[in-house]
Every structure is written in structure tokens, then in C-alpha cells.
A and B are shown apart, each in its own frame.
Chain A
Amino acid sequence: MPLQRHLVCRVDSLPPGSRKLVKIGARSIGVFNVGGRFYALRNSCPHQGGPVCLGHLTGFPTSPTPGEFEYLRKGEILRCPWHGWEFDVKTGQSWFDPARLRVATYPARVESGASLAAEHPGPESDREMSGLRPGPYVLETYPVAVEQNYVVVEVPGTSRGSRVQR
């Protein structure tokens, strides 16, 4: 499916820490500026279709032992407003319920996650330290570029279902 480029907004109207919801074809898409990098995700939670891009953009609390808290990935974890499920704003990867992964084989998906991580070193090793494994869902993400001070998101030409099947 060829990607089609869509103009989102001027860069200065989407400063770091902010987000913008855009409608592209049938899709609602959230575009986020996280520390100067831009990310776009389908605004539909794979769980029950909730407007995930309206959720808190927060961090990832973890703990080495009860009573001790570590706060990773500040401002990089999107929580669906409906049920609180957590997704990495950079990759769309969900982070909970590792048990479900046991029965599935996703070499392609894991490869993909690793290559995305390589683009932004650091966060993946953080999550490994947290002791959790990836959850079963991945939000649909889209490449975002800044061209001549405009944010551009690339979306497949035709709309597909919101669930990314593994």
C-alpha cells in the first residue's frame, strides 16, 4: 500500500509536550511532539476502540521491590482514557499482560520493535529493566516528518481495521 503524505500543521503550533488530533480519511490520528520528535498513532485502542490519543501522556512506573518506585519514560507512555492500558507513544507497543505472549509467536513484530528501538537507544533497555514484557497489542503508528517547518504524517492510502493483528 503506497503511503500518502498528509500535512498536519506548522511545527510551531505543535510544541514539545503537545498533541494534535487530525482526521485523515476515515481515520482519527493523534500526532504528538515528544521532546522535539514527532509520532503519530491511530486514535483507537486495540482493546475496545477507546480514544487512546486523548489519554494521559505519562511515564512508566515500575519497581524493583515493593515500596520502591522507579519512574521511567516520562512523557512517553500513552494511557487509554477508557481502561488505563499503557502504550509506548513511540512504537504503539502495549505494556502489560506478558502471559498472553507465551502462546503467540511474533518474530516479525519483535524484530520490528527492536529496530524501532535502535532508532532511539535507551528506552528499550529501560523497559527490560522494569521486568515487564511487551503486551499483545500494538497501536497503528505512522511516520511523521517535518518538512519546511510543517508536520507531515504518512498514512496508507486506504483505511483498514484498527487492530493490528499479530
Chain B
Amino acid sequence: MIDCDIHNQLPSLETLVPYLEEHWRAYIRESAFVGPDVNDYPEGTGIPARPGTTPPSGGPPGSDPGFLCAQTLDAWDLELGILNCTYWVQSVHNEYLASALATAINTWQAEHWLTADSRLRASLVVPSQNPALAAQEIDRMGHHPGFVQVILPVRSWTPYGNRRFDPLYEAALRHDLVVGIHFGGSSGNPPTPCGWPSTYLEEYAGMSQVFQSQVLSLISEGTFDRYPGLRVALIEGGFTWMPSLMWRLDKEWRGLRRDIPWVKRPPSEYIREHIRLTLQPVDAPPQSRQMLEILEQMDGQDLLMYSSDYPHRHYDAPEEALPDQLPDLHWDRIGTENAREFYRL
């Protein structure tokens, strides 16, 4: 199996200091800067960590490569695991600092993680609030065979179909990298389309709205028409909402295609060709047969890729992360082959 969503965690901002230029070392030492102001997984919700994932060496869950590999690659007998570092430098308003942090994180990932186990792959952290700087970072590290993806927070300043992101996509394509859009981020925009919610529950369970907005944007703005080779993974966003989005988009496109005349095929065809979704968190319906219906409605056997979301807590083991009674045929595809083809592993 290939796990498409394992989280490697920065132990602390201190970890990056050796990878930063003197200017930023002094800045961090002498200012109150403590890192990006993001709180995607608040302590105490139970979501940040499965029990037993805190490394014996100390540090937060997901911060020790050996311990992480033992609990994921070894324990679940994984063929490969893709690391998604969600250190959102996008939330640092000083773009030069954001860029420096991204550079430090990616070098740290290459030296500290990709050397730890040959089964690990990683995702490039980029200052996507400035796509030109993001492209520079992709060009700096994109040649490294361990990096298979550029990771972006689903909560963006501007929808990802906007042409300002073109330099980022062009750089990703130059290095044959998937663009992964992942749960979370704190762009400054509310996490709902109707303003700020009061509770974490609303933000956490409602994030699928943001994912849908990004899919709408990418298709409508013609991102896949401009970049026919672009591959986008939707990570940790759920997937049961996808069938209705496909139906609605195809239906409305018939009468409103004049708004987006570059889109010459039903939008669901773009989704099937360019987009994949990771498994966790599963919005499990009450009965397993209902999950099979959803998988059928969205061609789930071809569009889904297995993910544990380690160390985040949804289930305890990969077999329990699967919807009940999923046929073996689907598991071959979802567990391994879809990711192998999509990430070209």
C-alpha cells in the first residue's frame, strides 16, 4: 500500500535556525516571531494525535523520523509513504521570511526525512502567497527525486484557479510534481463562504466547502485547459461531496458554458482526468452499502488514494480506515495503484 497523507511535524521553530540566513536567525532571536499563526488541529480536540504517537525522544507526534517510520511504514507494511508537512508559511505576512522558512523546511526535509527511509517521499512547502517566490523554491528543490508534490493549504487568499498562480503551476510541471491541496491554512479569509464560524467543529467539518470552491475555481478558470498535464491531489478534505459537485457542474455547464467557453468538456471529465482525493477522513455513512454507492457514483475506485492521515486521529490502523465491505478490486486501486500512477512512483 501507498499512504498518501503522513504528517511530518517540525519539532519547533528552533529546528529551522541552522537552515536560515543570519538575517533571519537574528530576526527570530530578537523578535517575538514564533512561526506561522495557524491552529488547524487544536490541542485537546483529540484530532491532532492518535494515542501513542508522541515520540519517546520527545517533541510532537510526527516529529521523529525513526518513530514515524516504525509506526507507519513498518507497522502497516507500506510500500511508500508520502509526507505532507503542513507548516503553512503562507500565513507569514512577510513574504521574504515565508520564503526563507520554506527553503529551510525543504532542506530540512531533504536532509532529515528523505534520508531516514527509502520508502518516504515528501512535499515541498512553498510561499504560495507569492507564486513567483514559490516557483523559485520549486525550481531550487524540485529536481530532488524524494519530492513528489507541492503542498498548498486549501484555505487560500485567492481561489487557486486565479492566473496569479500560473508561475507556481508552471514550476510544478517543469519538475513533474503533483500539486496537493491540503486541509487547513489561515489565509485571513473565513473558512466558510458566509463568514466566521463560532466553533472549531464548524471549521473542521465544514472544510469540504473550501475544497469544493477550489475545484470550481480550477475548472472554471481553465487551469486544466492552460496546463493539460497538471495533477491536483485533494488531501484530507473528504470525498463524499464529490458526486453531487460533479452532477451539478455538468448540469449547469450545459446552459452556462458561455461564461467559460474554454471549457469544452463536461466538468466532471476534468475532475476524473486531473484530480484525485485521499481517503481520510472518511465521511462514513451509517451503512456500508451506502459507501459503496458513493464510490460508484464518483468512480471512487479510480479517484481515491489511500491515506492514514497519521498522526491525526480518525482510526487506528489502515484496515480500519477502509469502508466496510470494500471489494478487493477497489482496494488494489485505492490502496496502491491510483497513487502509483498519479504520483508516478
Asked if A150 is at the interface (CB within 8 A of a chain B CB), the reply is no
Closest chain B CB from A36 CB (angstroms): 26
Contact A83 B254 (CB under 8 A): yes
- Within 8 Å of chain A (Cβ to Cβ): is B165? no
Q: Once the chains bind, are B255 and A85 in contact (CB under 8 Å)?
A: yes
Main secondary structure on B side of the interface with A: helix
**Known contacts A97-B266, A98-B265, A132-B264; A65 and B255 CB within 8 A of each other:** no
Residues of A within 8 A of B222 (CB): 63, 65-67
Q: Which residue of B lies closest to A97 (CB)?
A: B254
The answer to whether residues A61 and B258 also contact, given A66-B222, A96-B253 and a CB cut-off of 8 A, is yes
Return chain A residues, CB-CB under 8 Å to B266. Answer: 97, 99
* CB atoms of B264 and A65 under 8 A apart: no
Contacts of A67 in B (CB 8 A): 163, 222, 262
A85 with B254: CB separation less than 8 A: yes
Q: Which residue in chain B gives the minimum CB-CB distance to A69?
A: B261
Question: Which residues in A have their C-beta under 8 angstroms from that of B221?
Answer: 66
Cβ contacts B252-277/A at 8 Å (1 or 0 each): 01111110011011100100000000
Which A residues, 44 to 82, have Cβ-Cβ distances below 8 Å to chain B?
61-70
Answer whether residue B226 sits at the interface, using C-beta atoms and an 8 A cutoff: yes
Judge whether A65 and B256 touch: CB under 8 Å: no
CA distance A127 to B132 in the complex (A): 38
A66, B256: Cβ atoms closer than 8 Å: no
Taking a contact as CB atoms under 8 Å apart, the answer to whether B226 and A96 are in contact is no
* Residues of the B chain whose Cβ atoms lie less than 8 Å from the Cβ of A97: 250, 254, 266
Q: Tell me if B225 is interfacial: C-beta within 8 Å of chain A.
A: yes
A135 to B221, CA, bound (A): 23
With A66-B225, A85-B254, A85-B255 as given contacts, are A99 and B261 in contact (CB-CB < 8 Å)? no
B222 closest partner in A (C-beta): A66
- Residue A131 is within 8 A (CB to CB) of chain B in the complex: yes
**B250 — which chain A residues lie within 8 A by C-beta?**
97
Q: With an 8 A cutoff between CB atoms, is A84 at the interface?
A: yes
Roughly how many angstroms separate A70 CA and B261 CA in the complex, as a whole number? 9
Least CB distance from A63 to B in Å reads 4
Contact A99 B254 (CB under 8 A): no
Specify the chain A residue showing the minimal Cβ separation from B258.
A61
State whether B261 touches A62 (Cβ < 8 A).
yes
Name the B residues within 8 Å of A65 (CB-CB). Answer: 222, 225-226, 262
Chain B positions 238-262 with a Cβ under 8 Å from a chain A Cβ: 250, 253-258, 261-262
> Is the CB–CB distance between A84 and B225 below 8 Å?
no
Cβ-defined contact, B261 with A63, below 8 A: yes
Give Cα distance in the complex from A68 to B264, angstroms: 14
Minimum Cβ distance to chain A for residue B260 (Å): 8
Q: Complex formed: what's the CA distance from A147 to B261 in Å? A: 40
Q: Which among B254, B256, B261 has the highest number of chain A CB atoms within 10 Å? A: B261
Known contacts A65-B226, A66-B222, A67-B163; decide if A96 and B257 are in contact (CB<8 Å). yes
Query: What are the residues of chain A within 8 A of B253 when measuring CB–CB?
Result: 96
Chain B positions 24-79 with a Cβ under 8 Å from a chain A Cβ = none
CB distance from B166 to the nearest CB of A (A): 10
Chain A, Cβ-Cβ closest to B269: A99
Contact with A along B207-226 (1 / 0, CB 8 A): 00000000000000111011
For A98, list chain B residues within 8 Å (CB).
264-265
CA distance A48 to B262 in the complex (A): 26
List the 8 closest pairs (A to B, CB-CB), nearest first: A66-B222, A84-B255, A63-B262, A63-B261, A83-B255, A61-B261, A66-B262, A131-B264
Residue pairs across A and B with Cβ atoms less than 8 A apart, 29 shown, are A61-B258, A63-B222, A63-B261, A63-B262, A65-B222, A65-B226, A65-B262, A66-B163, A66-B221, A66-B222, A66-B223, A66-B226, A67-B163, A67-B222, A67-B262, A69-B261, A83-B254, A83-B255, A84-B254, A85-B254, A96-B254, A96-B257, A97-B250, A97-B254, A98-B265, A99-B265, A99-B266, A99-B269, A131-B264
